[in-house]
C-alpha cells in the first residue's frame, strides 16, 4: 500500500476534495502526522470518521513494519522490514532535553567499508518517504519531539542524493527542524559534498575518515580508489569555503590498524589549517571475529593526546548503544543471518 508521505500537501488536498471533504481537512491530517507523530489514521479524532476510513483504505503512513526494538545504554534501536522483505535500522539517541535520530538512507551500503557490518551487502536506496517515516515512527515510539537528525545510519547518503535532499527539505520545511540540527555523514563523495554545501549550506557535514593514510584508507574504504583522499579533502575545503561551517572528522580507532602515534600525526597533517574538530570513536566489533580489534583505552588516550598537543579540538564520542548492537548494521546483520 502506498504511503501518504509520498504525496505533496497539494496532492493530499486533491485526494480529500475528490473524496467529498473540505480541502482544509488535509491540513488537519498533516498536523496529526507532522506535529503529533500519529501513525494510524483512525486515531485522528478531529478528522471525520468517513475520511479516516477512506484514508486507511487507500494509504498507509509508515511504509514498513517494526520487527525488533532494543533499548538500553542511552539508545533505542529499531529494526524495520519493508514490503519487499528487506530490513534496515534507525537508532534514537535518547536524551532528557534533546534526542537525536540516526537515520538510514540505504538498505545495505555500496561503499563496503571493511570493518562495517552494513557494507557487507547492498540492496537499494531508501526513498524520501521511507527516510521521513523513520523520523515520524521514532517520535511516535518515544512520545516526544526529536529535534536532531544525523544521517549516519545504514548507507552512504551522498550516493542517494535526490531522495536524501527531498527528505532534508521536508525535515526543514514541514517538520521545522533547524538545518543546524541536521548532519550528513559521508565516507567521502567529493561531488556530493560540494552539492550539499550549495543546496543546504546550514546542514552540517561529518566525514568518516578511518585512516589519514591514503593507501591504508584504500584498504578500508573501497570507494577511496575512485575518490582519492586528496580529492575528498579538496571538496571539504570547498564545503568550508561555501558554508563557513566547521566539519566533524569521525575517526573510528581500530586496534593495530590506525591507532598509532604516527597515525595521529598523519591526521593532524591532513587537516592542517582546516576548521575541523575530531570525534574519536572506539571500534564496535561487527561480529565475534572482529572483537580483537577493539582498541586499548591507553592507546586511544595516547592518540588523543597527540591531537591535543596541536591544540586541535578532539572528543571521545560516547558510544551509546554498544550493548544493544547499535553500531551501524549490526542488529540487521543478526536478523538477516537468522531469518
Ligand atoms: S561505514 Fe558507512 S559508508 Fe562505510 S560501508 Fe558502512 S554504512 Fe557504508
pLDDT band at 73; cut points 50, 70, 90: confident
- 111 contacts 223 by C-beta, under 8 angstroms: yes
Answer left, alpha or beta for residue 138, where phi above 0 means left and psi between -120 and 50 means alpha. alpha
The answer on pLDDT for 321 being more than 90 is no
Number of separate domains in the chain: 2
User: Is residue 155 in contact with ligand 1, taking CB distance under 6 Å?
Assistant: yes
- Which residue range(s) make up the domain with 51? 4-58
Same domain, 150 and 99: yes
Same domain, 81 and 36: no
Domain end point (choices 12, 40, 58): 58
Q: Residue 203: name the closest of 261, 234, 237, 245 by CA.
A: 245
Same domain, 159 and 231: yes
Same domain, 161 and 199: yes
Given ligand 1 and candidates 156, 207, 210, 227, which is best to mutate, with the most ligand atoms within 8 Å of its CB? 156
Query: Closest ligand 1 atom to the C-alpha of 221?
Result: 4
Same domain, 221 and 126: yes
Which CATH number is 299's domain given?
3.20.20.70
The pLDDT value recorded for residue 326 is 54
Q: How far is the CA of 104 from the centre of ligand 1 (A)?
A: 11
The pLDDT value recorded for residue 209 is 97
User: Is residue 118 in contact with ligand 1, taking CB distance under 6 Å?
Assistant: yes
pTM above 0.75, yes or no: yes
| Percent of the chain surpassing pLDDT 90 | 88
The pLDDT value recorded for residue 337 is 63
Same domain, 157 and 52: no
User: Is residue 14 in contact with ligand 1, taking CB distance under 6 Å?
Assistant: no
The pLDDT value recorded for residue 307 is 97
Cell of 264: 595521529
Which CATH number is 25's domain given?
1.10.150.530
Q: How many angstroms separate the CA atoms of 260 and 256, rounded?
A: 7
As a whole number, mean pLDDT of residues 299-323 equals 88
Average pLDDT value over all residues in the chain? 94
Same domain, 52 and 97: no
Q: How far is the CA of 156 from the centre of ligand 1 (A)?
A: 6
The pLDDT value recorded for residue 287 is 81
Q: How far is the CA of 151 from the centre of ligand 1 (A)?
A: 11
**Catalytic residue positions?**
89, 328
pLDDT digits (tens, 9 = 90+) for 85-135: 999 999 999 988 889 999 999 999 999 999 999 999 999 999 999 999 999
Q: How far is the CA of 229 from the centre of ligand 1 (A)?
A: 16
As a whole number, mean pLDDT of residues 244-266 equals 97
Residue nearest to atom 7 of ligand 1 (CA): 155
User: Is residue 111 in contact with ligand 1, taking CB distance under 6 Å?
Assistant: yes
Interior/surface letters 296-305, b for 16+ CB within 10 angstroms, e for the rest: eeeebeebbe
The pLDDT value recorded for residue 51 is 98
Domain end point (choices 58, 80, 101): 58
User: Is residue 209 in contact with ligand 1, taking CB distance under 6 Å?
Assistant: no
Same domain, 225 and 327: yes
Domain end point (choices 21, 38, 58): 58
The pLDDT value recorded for residue 289 is 82
Query: Closest ligand 1 atom to the C-alpha of 116?
Result: 6
Same domain, 218 and 121: yes
The pLDDT value recorded for residue 288 is 85
User: Is residue 119 in contact with ligand 1, taking CB distance under 6 Å?
Assistant: yes
The answer on pLDDT for 325 being more than 80 is no
Query: Closest ligand 1 atom to the C-alpha of 156?
Result: 3
The pLDDT value recorded for residue 339 is 61
- 32 contacts 134 by C-beta, under 8 angstroms: no
Q: How far is the CA of 32 from the centre of ligand 1 (A)?
A: 34
Please enumerate in sequence order all residues whose Cβ is within 8 A of that of 328, keeping only pairs 6 or more positions apart, or say none.
89, 116, 117, 118, 152, 153, 154
Same domain, 237 and 283: yes
Same domain, 28 and 142: no
Q: How many angstroms separate the CA atoms of 69 and 282, rounded?
A: 24
Q: How far is the CA of 157 from the centre of ligand 1 (A)?
A: 10
Same domain, 289 and 240: yes
Amino acid at each position: 500500500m502506498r504511503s501518504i508521505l509520498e504525496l505533496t500537501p497539494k496532492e493530499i488536498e486533491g485526494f480529500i476534495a475528490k473524496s467529498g471533504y473540505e480541502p482544509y481537512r488535509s491540513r488537519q491530517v498533516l498536523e496529526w502526522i507532522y506535529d503529533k507523530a500519529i501513525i494510524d489514521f483512525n486515531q485522528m479524532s478531529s478528522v471525520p470518521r468517513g475520511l479516516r476510513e477512506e484514508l486507511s483504505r487507500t494509504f498507509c503512513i509508515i511504509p514498513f513494519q517494526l520487527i525488533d526494538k532494543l533499548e538500553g545504554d542511552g539508545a533505542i534501536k529499531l529494526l524495520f522490514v519493508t514490503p519487499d522483505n528487506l530490513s534496515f535500522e534507525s537508532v534514537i539517541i535518547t536524551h532528557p532535553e534533546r534526542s537525536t535520530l540516526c537515520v538510514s538512507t540505504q538498505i545495505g551500503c555500496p561503499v563496503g567499508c571493511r570493518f562495517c557490518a552494513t557494507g557487507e551487502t547492498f540492496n537499494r536506496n531508501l526513498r524520501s518517504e521511507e527516510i521521513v517515516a523513520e523520523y515520524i515512527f521514532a517520535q511516535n515510539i518515544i512520545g516526544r519531539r526529536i529535534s536532531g537528525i544525523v544521517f549516519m545510519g545504514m548507507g552512504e547518503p551522498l550516493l542517494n542524493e535526490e531522495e536524501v535532499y527531498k527528505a532534508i527539505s521536508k525535515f526543514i520545511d514541514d517538520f521545522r527542524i533547524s538545518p543546524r540540527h541536521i548532519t550528513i555523514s559521508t565516507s567521502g563523495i567529493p561531488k556530493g559534498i560540494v552539492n550539499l554545501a550549495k543546496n543546504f549550506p546550514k546542514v552540517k557535514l561529518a566525514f568518516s575518515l578511518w585512516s589519514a593514510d591514503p593507501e591504508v584508507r584504500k584498504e578500508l574504504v573501497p570507494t577511496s580508489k575512485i575518490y582519492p583522499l586528496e580529492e575528498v579533502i579538496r571538496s571539504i575545503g570547498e564545503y568550508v569555503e561555501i558554508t563557513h561551517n566547521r566539519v566533524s572528522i569521525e575517526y573510528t580507532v581500530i586496534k593495530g590498524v590506525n591507532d598509532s602515534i604516527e597515525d595521529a600525526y598523519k591526521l593532524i597533517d591532513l587537516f592542517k589549517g582546516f576548521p575541523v574538530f575530531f570525534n574519536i570513536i572506539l571500534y564496535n566489533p561487527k561480529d565475534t571475529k572482529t572483537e580483537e580489534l577493539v582498541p586499548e583505552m591507553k592507546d586511544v588516550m595516547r592518540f588523543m593526546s597527540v591531537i591535543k598537543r596541536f591544540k586541535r579540538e578532539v572528543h571521545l564520542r560516547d558510544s551509546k548503544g554498544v550493548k544493544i548492537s547499535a553500531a551501524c548494521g549490526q542488529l540487521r546483520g543478526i536478523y538477516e543471518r537468522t531469518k
